[in-house]
Structure 1
Amino acid sequence: MTNPFIRPRRLRACEGIRRLVRETELNAGDFVYPLFVVPGNNVKQEIPSLPGNYHFSPDMAVAAAREAYDLGIPAVLVFGLPEYKDAQGASAWDAKSPVQQAIRRIKQALPDLVVISDVCLCQYTDHGHCGLVRDGRIDNDPTLELLARVALSHAEAGADMVAPSDMMDGRVRAIRDALDGAGFSEVSVMSYAAKYASAFYGPFRDAANSAPQFGDRRTYQMDPANAREALREVALDIEEGADIVMVKPALAYLDIIRQVKDRFDLPVACYNVSGEYAMVKAAAAKGWIDERRIVLELLLGMKRAGADIIITYHALDAVRWLKGE
């Protein structure tokens, strides 16, 4: 008897069969929606380089968070632009700053929505770097105390999770110790564990007004050529107390997401960053691509690569499309 003619197409014959055998599914629970908060009241201004995303004052951020929550998105990630900047970034831990105000308002209005806060100094320093500058260099160890102060101020405002994005060595341990020491042992840490020095961050730096005023961030963000180093960074952050580890960006680093997922047993997040978003929006505006199909395919690829959590500016649209709207 000859071997049967193998026909994989049988399992693609109709949508019902395709659904039965589908290996990877996207749903609203996979997404985190980023929010940018700014000083003031009644502010909602579209970000030119991130069309469809906005600068919100803390009062308006509540409505944006509610929109995400009503769609079934479980979490928002809050970034802030301060009223003032200085060499230390002191506004980052100021309880009156927009991030802390927004966290308090969102948690009061939506106690079941998970509020994650970005912990960094770049938006708050007058030099635009993620740490203290000494003699033209980023001084790692003195920065740790400041990052811990930022994380603690977010926890005091009501954040459920803090997300250090600075890439200073030892910052997860410093933050974990500060939170535990102040009675916030239940506040989680989602570490930007493998954050690359990427060209895909341009629109974010415009949105957050966080471009460095000299040099670049290659002395602390990772070289895009390195994969083994990413695994080392993730292992160190887990050892220091991270609860979730992140790979950033996503699209050019799907191999890193997969390696992290295969090596470690913590939840893995990825950040579908601003440049990735902006390229899709620009091509869609030209009519060159089908935005809906492209976005869902890209997000599905991130999940298939191993991401448990996808931070994406597409979150609201993606959920509506998944619901058939």
Structure 2
Amino acid sequence: MTGLNEGKRAVIYARVSTKGQADSGVSIETQLKVCRQWCQAEGVEVVGEFHDDGISGTTTNRDEFAAMIATIISQDPDFLVVYDTSRITREGNDKYNKLVQALEGFKCGVVYPGMGGITADSQAARFVVPFKTTTDSILVKESTSKTRESVNRLIEEGVHVSRSAGFVFEEDIPLMPKGRVLLEDRVREKKDPDGAVVRTVTKATVIASEKDFFALVDRGASIEVIAEMWGLGRHCLTDAVKGKSRCVREKCPIPDRYPEYVRRLKAAKDAGICDPVFEPYRKTVRARASKERAQCRAKATERRADGNKGSESLGKAVGDDGKKGVVQ
């Protein structure tokens, strides 16, 4: 049987909030399957499929969402096919309306197969959608509030609930909550909705003494060089030096060593101390910095699919092919 929309084109979008776990019992694969079935029944050609796994509907800062918007802009499909309204946003009816109006500006209708196949501009949607989008946003707020209350209660009971630190000075360990420092790699396994085992590994915290750190600084090593030597991210070591524990709510009284670091590094440079053992690490740091500067220059001159620069349109910077990056 010929579909009512035979010959028209569509993009499909799906989303769940938690990685390895379906959101509200509707997995990515289920959403895609239902949307594909609608397209097949209607005779609609699918020109793109996008899905964000593990990203909340309370933000539009989603890579695949941005790529989907770019494809709509560049390929002019007739429909965006989404399981239901909550897959687009859970920020309430006002935000939903703004997003749908933006899509309508590209002459792209929105269809919800998981809601009986209603379209965003239908009479049924005018009654159903405001109620659903408002309810979704309320439920998200209630869930967030309950989670916050649970976290606060655990902290009051002395239970650590923050993520483990990537690096700490061993002198700071007694000042930090129990569990903040992970002494061994932590392996966790759980099953996803399809029964497959998902295995995650959290790396053990890197620990070094304040004495060893300043010994390297006195020989002319910067934070960037030391981080490279110790296999750390620069920001990870910088936070530790500045006493930023990333557990503010747990009130870790970690000292700020940054002023001392600046003073001693300057003293080493003024004295002409420059240990050649650091040179390979310095080259790596310089090469990385040069690459980052080149990327920044490219980003500053990139052209969006709609001809704008910066953040003047929906989503992140994307190319005419629906992918992020510079348009050639």
TM over 0.5: no
Kindly name which structure, 1 or 2, has the bigger radius of gyration based on alpha carbons.
2
